[in-house]
Structure 1
Amino acid sequence: MLVLYDYNSNAIHVELMKSKSGAKILAAYQRAHSLFTQQGLQPQIQRLDNKASTALQSFMTANQVDFQLAPPHLHRRNAAERAIRTFKNHFIAGLCSTNPDFPLHLWDCHIPHAILTLNLLQGSRINPTLSAHTQLHGAFDYNCTPLAPPGTRVLVHEKPAVRETWAPHAVEGWYLGPAMNHYRCHRVWITEMRAKRVANMLAWFPSKIPMPTASSTDRALAAARDLVCALQNPSPALPFTPLDANQHQAHTQLAELFALVAARGLFRSRTRSSAPGPAPCLTPTPAQVRFAVPIVTAEHAPALLRVPTLAPPSPRVPPTATYHSRTDNPGRRRRKARQPQP
């Protein structure tokens, strides 16, 4: 791959090559030169490695681009060397975040995703308030082109027109990156067909990053905003009886109430996020419940009939056994037998 670095926009661009031959390097540089020229970033001076081919130098001379060769074995003189290191670290980090079962022979499919995310993090030198990607390609809309971690396992929805009657409604695949020319679509690799596809409906199964979910507070605030919008902007095409003045006033008050609740909830969520700490526990006041039948209290207890309480039975003690001494003297046994028993 050929890595180019534009100093003014602070953008890092990568072009893929099949080999390091002079023809392949020249073709890759021509594609990059055309891209920067179309965006108004015509290169004036180009610093190259000491191993630049003669064909590449001739192309720069023909396009009025001044070039300088770095000294042999002194890469720090070329600013592109630091850009190469930055891109390598970013690309390796992206590969390490993929699913353990991701097929690594698709590593080159992640290069456009890596270039996009890296330039979105780089700041432009022409306008520090813009990113390098915005300076080079224009504003990036995350809503039109959503991003996801590379190499995530997905289920791709199969449209009814292309699937069989009893076939599954989705097939397994891998996320490769956004489809830049489509609205809210993604580039995926279908495992069964071993081919790329553009899909708009995916089910995500990340292995290292949990999917973000909306809390109950966020859902309640979103519902309150929707109610406020619906109450403040009634649709005139509904086939119902128009609202009178009292109903309109009640709806307006309800909209103001929901707007106030939504604003307070948003303020509390921002306050908690800016100043983390234990939230105060508010004990709600218990509501009084009135029963139709009065409950018996302690003052009514003496008037009630008392049920005698039976004493618990005493434990039964086994009788003490009486032991009679026996002897082998028959006369003594007769005398004992004649004695009266107590």
Structure 2
Amino acid sequence: MSHFTTVTATYILVKYSRSYPSSAPSSQAQTSSDVDWQHFVNPVIKLYLDVKKSSTGELVSVRLRIAWFMDDRTEDVDRREVVFEDLELLSFSSLSPPNPQAAQIEQGLPLKAVYRDSVVGIRYLHPRVIGPGTHPVYRRFQITFLSPTAALQFIDAIRTVCPCKANPSTQTPVRNQTMHTDLSRPRTSTGLMSQTNTLIRTQTSHSAAPIPKRARLTYDGAFSRPSNPGRLNLETSTDLHVPSFTTSTPSRQMLPNNDNTSQISSSSVTLSSSSSREMINPDCDSSQPSYASRNDSDMMPPPPLPSSAPRPVEVTGPQVPDAFTSEFLASLRETPALYDLPQAELEDLVGHVIREEGFAKLLDALDSMWKVKGFLDR
């Protein structure tokens, strides 16, 4: 009397996909991607592998079943299930290849499997009996396990009856030279580094108000190379954008972030014609990395004086501290280029100034001063 031992292994599948062509491909160039695929996921998909051996250890059968359960309640014995696959893998071993020449390159095998990470793809001949004058038809299905370890366990279990081949992942090109070139361009001239040092020192010494988080300096002197350049190139190469500023002037200074007049009174404000244009335009020259981030509408220039005025006009009043007046006039004397701004930029600066508190009082004071000037000119 013969005795048999059956060992059943159960795997939970994340996804099951299948392709059942009704006829053979019209040409050798047609691949599995040219046919329709059906995909199944939730609620529960299970794979059962029954390995049956005789008392002498001889392999009798290897049965693969894939079932899709419509309900995940394990206590319900009457729950519905749909059987996707029910294959006797060992029976394919007795089949001769439909095309002996193609079998030499593993293209005409009646059964084969490929795997990568947690995904396993299996192709088998269906129907197994090929009539005269007909072409073989192959069915394909792809299963995704919970982990690569589970996929390898399944491959090891069927390797004795099914040819298995690892499908290495596609190697993405690593553009180290491109990334290195883009990140190593700050060494263009000594003038740029000196301007950067001036910019950082000026903002540190004159900005008394706290700098917003998005306007903080992020330059640390060197760029760290990622541990996986190929992955960085794929995920961030299209999004990598480092704004930069042009170097049209020998020196420039950063404007402090001032949201109201009380914060203006605690800092010294300077401005040059080139620095105002650089802060407004975020995409001046993307080839040069910058060392200070742009602060959009939070970094606004100081209130400009009329372009026709030949000299700075001192605004006095009981509400303006003497210290602020002296600092403001000193900054205007250091940067007389404020009066040479183009009309378009000057209008843009004025547009921001009129939103500040106390602008109406400034207009009243200027109006009375121009009246006095008119009387003196007569």
Normalising by the smaller structure, the TM-score range is: under 0.3
Normalised to the residue count of structure 2, the TM-score between the two structures is: 0.18
Q: Select the structure of larger CA radius of gyration.
A: 1
Q: If each structure's strand is expressed as a fraction of its own residues, which one has the higher value?
A: 2
